[in-house]
Amino acid sequence: MQLAMTMLADRLVPLLGAPAGLAAALAGDGADSAVAGAAVEGGHAATELSPSAMMQTIYAHLFAHPYTHEPYAQLGPIPFHFTNHNLALLVSAALVLIAFGWLARCRKREVVARGPFQNALEALVTFVKNDMVYANMGEHHGRRFLPLFLTQFFCILLMNLFGILPNFDFFRSMHFPTTATANIWVTAGLALTTFTVILYGGIKEQGLGHFVVGLAPPINLGDSPGMKAMRVAILCIMYPIEVLGLIIKPVALTIRLFANMVGGHLAMLTVYGLIYLFKSYAIGVVGVGFNTFLTFLELLVAFIQAYIFTYLSILFVGAAVHPEH
């Protein structure tokens, strides 16, 4: 039993990106448990982790891991480090550029032979273009914003899919692959892009004055002094609500994507933690089987969340450029 738990810890700890010594600490049994957790890091002996510290160490897999001690920039009290989430963002963007650069060359050369990868990409592009963008914004406005929404969809999809891949041993110090969309600052940046496009599209289409006036629906109560006063009173209530609603849109996009991506990984890491905690073959078999199911569920969630974020962005931008709707 002791050997089996040690082997299980040795395989799962690199997968979870936990620090050295956790495998031995978690594999300890009975009287040997106080000694099994000993590992030398920086000349100091690390004692066996408590259940709370163990779970915190496992959950650390979700957090951003900086690659340098010193920040590359400092904005007041906020330091900026280059982390594994930044790396995931750059890799996702690079893969999108490479894949669609290759696809554009194939279309330009009118290559007849098509492989499954090219067919899958074209099918997804056609779906986003026709069933999401053009269906909600029309072709005239949709064509202007189509590059943005295609980039949004595929970058979010790739970042979501990275979280399903395991942290292999040779990537352990990098903590990569990782789910960048499980970082609220990443999802906030994506939502801020949508918010900027909402303002840009609405002001460009309507003009600044009409855009601001159009935030509240028209109210026609009559021309009498009493009705005019009533209209002013209603607008004084509605304008703060509409402005608040405009701000809530990117906040909702931020939290929705962040919470959904964190939730699935949190559940999987919790199951792995229970395997370590109880050190039982039965829980190990059930836990691995349950996490296998969760992995396939996360694969579905990766596509769904990319779709929902992009679809809501399309609706919000469409409402700004089509105020009559």
Query: 40: helix, coil or strand?
Result: strand
Query: 274: helix, coil or strand?
Result: helix
Residues 85, 148 within the same domain: yes
Residue 101 pLDDT greater than 80, yes or no: yes
Domain membership flag for residue 257: yes
Whole-angstrom distance, CA of residue 278 vs CA of residue 195: 47
CB 103 within 8 A of CB 122: yes
Residues 84, 45 within the same domain: no
Whole-angstrom distance, CA of residue 271 vs CA of residue 252: 29
Residues 40, 85 within the same domain: no
pLDDT digit string, tens, across residues 195-225: 999 999 999 888 888 888 778 777 777 777 7
CB atoms within 10 A of CB 236: 10
Which pLDDT value is given to residue 212? 83
Range name among 7-21, 62-76, 182-196 with the lowest pLDDT average: 7-21
Residues 45, 91 within the same domain: no
Domain membership flag for residue 249: yes
Going by pLDDT thresholds of 50, 70 and 90, the confidence category of residue 113 is: low
* Residue 173 DSSP label: G
Residues 41, 103 within the same domain: no
Higher pLDDT, residue 108 or 299: 299
What is the number of domains present in the chain?
2
- 3-state percent breakdown (helix, strand, coil) of the chain, nearest 5: 75, 5, 20
What the block records as the tokens of 41 is 């890091």
CB atoms within 10 A of CB 206: 17
Residues 187, 305 within the same domain: yes
pLDDT digit string, tens, across residues 38-65: 333 444 444 567 878 888 888 888 888 8
Residues 162, 243 within the same domain: yes
pLDDT digit string, tens, across residues 116-149: 888 889 899 999 999 999 999 988 889 999 999 9
Mean pLDDT, all residues of the chain: 80
Domain membership flag for residue 24: yes
Domain membership flag for residue 138: yes
Range name among 20-29, 105-114, 132-141, 299-308 with the lowest pLDDT average: 20-29
Whole-angstrom distance, CA of residue 247 vs CA of residue 255: 13
Which pLDDT value is given to residue 72? 87
The residue-averaged pLDDT of 263-267 equals: 90
For 50-106, the DSSP string reads PHHHHHHHHHGGGS--BS-SS-SEEETTEEE--BHHHHHHHHHHHHHHHHHHHHHHH
Going by pLDDT thresholds of 50, 70 and 90, the confidence category of residue 169 is: low
Residues 11, 86 within the same domain: no
Residues 163, 224 within the same domain: yes
CB 92 within 8 A of CB 190: no
Domain membership flag for residue 69: no
What the block records as the tokens of 221 is 């109560």
Residues 147, 295 within the same domain: yes
Cβ-Cβ contacts under 8 Å for 161 (sequence gap 6 or more): 299, 302
Phi, psi at 73, each rounded to 5°: -155, 155
Higher pLDDT, residue 235 or 297: 297
Domain membership flag for residue 258: yes
Domain region containing 145: 80-321
Residues 152, 41 within the same domain: no
The residue-averaged pLDDT of 290-311 equals: 94
CB 24 within 8 A of CB 48: no
Domain membership flag for residue 61: no
Residue 112 pLDDT greater than 80, yes or no: no
Which pLDDT value is given to residue 168? 67
Tracing tokens 């309507």 back to the chain, one arrives at 206
Residues 108, 16 within the same domain: no
Domain membership flag for residue 21: yes
